[in-house]
Amino acid sequence: MKNLYALVCFAFLSFLQGFSQKGEVANGKWTESQIDAFIEKSELIPIQITGDKDNRINIVIVNQWTSRNEEPYNSPDMRGEFVKDIEESLVAALTYGDERAQTAYSHYKDFFNVYGLWMPDTPEWKKGIDLEAMDAIRDRLFLPWANEHRGWVTFLIMPNRENGGGGAARNLEKRVGNAVIAGNGIGKMLHEISHTCMSIGDEYTTAATGTSAFPTYSADLEYERDKIKWRKWIEPTTPLPTPYEAEYLDKIGAFEGNQYHLVDYYRSTAQGCIMGAGVFDNTEEMCPVCNQRVSMRVYDLVDIIKSSAPENKSIEINGSKKIRFAVDHIVPEPNTQVVRWFLNGKMIATGVDELEVEFGDIAEYELICSITDETPNIRPDPPFAQFPKVEVKWNVSNTAPTSQASPLLVNSGTVQGNKKSCLFTLVPGISGGMPPYIYQWSTGSTADTLKDVGVGIYDVVVTDSQYRTQKTRFSIYESGLGNTKSSKKSKKSKKNNSIIVVDADIKAAEVDRDNGSVVLSFSGGQPPYSVQWLNAEYEYGNNLIYEPGNADIQLPDFEIKKLFSASDNSYLDCKGGEGFVSWDVEVANSGFYPIDVVYGGIDMKGSDALISINGKTEDKTIHFNQTRPLYTGWDVATLKVYLKEGVNKVAIISNGQSIPNIDYLRVPSSVRSKSKVQRERINLAPGEHGYVVTDSNENTVQGTVTVPEVYPFEIGKIELENKDGAVAVVDPLSGYTYKWYSKDATGKKGETYESPLAIGTSFVPSAVGNYYVAAQNILSRAESRNRVGFAVGNLAEKRPIAIDPSELGYESIKMWFDASDIDGNGKEDNFVTPRGPVPNWKDRSTRRNSNELFMKYEPNQLSGKGVAAFDHVWVSFMQKEVKDYQTIIMVYKESSMSFPGTSLFRGANGLLGKSKNPVKSIFDKDNIDPKTKNGKVYLNGKQIDPFNTPNPMDFSILIVQLESKSDSGLSRTEGLWEGSIAEMIFIDRELQEWERKGVEEYLRRKWFSTVDVEF
**Residue closer to Zn ion, measured from CB, 228 or 855:** 228
Among the listed ranges 75-83, 273-281, 461-469, 646-654, the one in contact with Zn ion (CB under 5 A) is 273-281
CB of 455: closest distance to Zn ion in angstroms?
43
**Residue closer to Zn ion, measured from CB, 258 or 861:** 258
**Residue closer to Zn ion, measured from CB, 240 or 531:** 240
Q: Considering CB under 5 A, how many residues would be counted as binding Zn ion?
A: 5
Q: How far apart are CA 955 and CA 977, in angstroms?
A: 15
**Residue closer to Zn ion, measured from CB, 287 or 566:** 287
CB of 271: closest distance to Zn ion in angstroms?
11
In order of 28, 121, 137, 143, 753, the CA distances from 33 in angstroms are: 14, 17, 11, 17, 70
Which residues between 211 and 240 bind Zn ion (CB under 5 A)?
218
Which residues between 284 and 303 bind Zn ion (CB under 5 A)?
287, 290
Q: How far apart are CA 677 and CA 628, in angstroms?
A: 44
CB of 273: closest distance to Zn ion in angstroms?
3
CB of 344: closest distance to Zn ion in angstroms?
43
One DSSP character per residue, 3-28 reads: HHHHHHHHHHHHHHHTT------SSS
198 is a site residue for Zn ion (CB under 5 A): no
**Residue closer to Zn ion, measured from CB, 228 or 815:** 228
**Residue closer to Zn ion, measured from CB, 195 or 739:** 195
**Residue closer to Zn ion, measured from CB, 376 or 769:** 376
Q: How far apart are CA 503 and CA 555, in angstroms?
A: 56
- Give the chain's length: 1015
CB–CB of 700/694 below 8 Å? yes
Among the listed ranges 115-123, 179-187, 274-282, 809-817, the one in contact with Zn ion (CB under 5 A) is 274-282
Compute φ and ψ for 787, nearest 5 degrees.
Answer: -125, 140
CB–CB of 328/371 below 8 Å? no
- Mark 412-451 with x for binding to Zn ion (rule: CB under 5 A) and - for no binding: ----------------------------------------
CB of 267: closest distance to Zn ion in angstroms?
7
**Site for Zn ion (CB under 5 A): which residue of 9, 136, 252, 273?**
273
**Residue closer to Zn ion, measured from CB, 287 or 813:** 287
Q: Is 439 exposed, middle or buried (0-12, 13-18, 19+ CB in 10 A)?
A: middle
CB–CB of 240/225 below 8 Å? yes
CB of 275: closest distance to Zn ion in angstroms?
4
One DSSP character per residue, 419-470 reads: TTTTEEEEEEEEESS-S--EEEETTS--SSSEEEE-SEEEEEEEE-TT--EE
> HEC string of 953-1005?
CCCEEEEEECCCCCCCCEEEECCCCCCEEEEEEEECCCCCHHHHHHHHHHHHH
CB of 149: closest distance to Zn ion in angstroms?
24
Half-sphere exposure of 1012 (CA within 13 A, CB side): 11
Q: How far apart are CA 212 and CA 482, in angstroms?
A: 54
**Residue closer to Zn ion, measured from CB, 156 or 275:** 275
**Residue closer to Zn ion, measured from CB, 273 or 891:** 273
CB of 287: closest distance to Zn ion in angstroms?
3
CB of 9: closest distance to Zn ion in angstroms?
17
Q: Which residues have C-beta within 8 Å of that of residue 34, sequence separation ≥ 6?
A: none
CB of 295: closest distance to Zn ion in angstroms?
13
275 is a site residue for Zn ion (CB under 5 A): yes
**Residue closer to Zn ion, measured from CB, 290 or 838:** 290
Among the listed ranges 69-77, 280-288, 356-364, 682-690, the one in contact with Zn ion (CB under 5 A) is 280-288
**Residue closer to Zn ion, measured from CB, 219 or 506:** 219
Amino acid identity at 27 = N
Q: How far apart are CA 108 and CA 676, in angstroms?
A: 48
Among the listed ranges 139-147, 272-280, 389-397, 546-554, the one in contact with Zn ion (CB under 5 A) is 272-280
Among the listed ranges 271-279, 331-339, 585-593, 860-868, the one in contact with Zn ion (CB under 5 A) is 271-279
Q: How far apart are CA 860 and CA 203, in angstroms?
A: 27
Instruction: Indicate if the alpha-carbon torsion angle 887, 891, 896, 902 is positive or negative.
Output: negative
CB of 269: closest distance to Zn ion in angstroms?
7
CB of 474: closest distance to Zn ion in angstroms?
45
Among the listed ranges 281-289, 506-514, 716-724, 795-803, the one in contact with Zn ion (CB under 5 A) is 281-289
In order of 283, 545, 576, 640, the CA distances from 650 in angstroms are: 48, 13, 20, 12
Amino acid identity at 589 = N
The footprint of Zn ion (CB under 5 A) covers: 218, 273, 275, 287, 290
